[in-house]
Amino acid sequence: MAKDHAFFDDLSKLASSATGAMLDMKREVETLVTAQMEKMLSRMHLVTREEHELVKAMAQKAREENESLSKRLEALEKGSKPKSTKKA
């Protein structure tokens, strides 16, 4: 009976140490994957959200200015066209 008790104690210790080892391996793998992902993303030269929003706002402002200038140019062209005379 004592042998059974010792066997189960040893089995319990083995299981708990295996669990600890698996948790350590999990942390190690997570650390390695995170480091590799950060390395890969840094090589891709991605922009941040703030940079994207800034450029987006600049593009919108440029579009609005372009539209305004197009309207002004159209108005100026209408005013400078020579008047056509009708020949009868």
Domain limits of the chain? 33-72
Q: What is the pLDDT of residues 20-34, one digit of tens each?
A: 899 999 999 999 999
Confidence of residue 17 (pLDDT cuts 50, 70, 90): confident
* Average pLDDT over all residues of the chain: 88
pTM value?
Answer: 0.47
H helices of the chain, in order, are: 2-43, 49-80
Name the one residue in this structure whose structure tokens are 């020579």: 82
Token output for 80: 């400078």
Query: For 34-46, how does the pLDDT look when each residue is reduced to its tens digit (9 = 90+)?
Result: 999 999 988 998 8
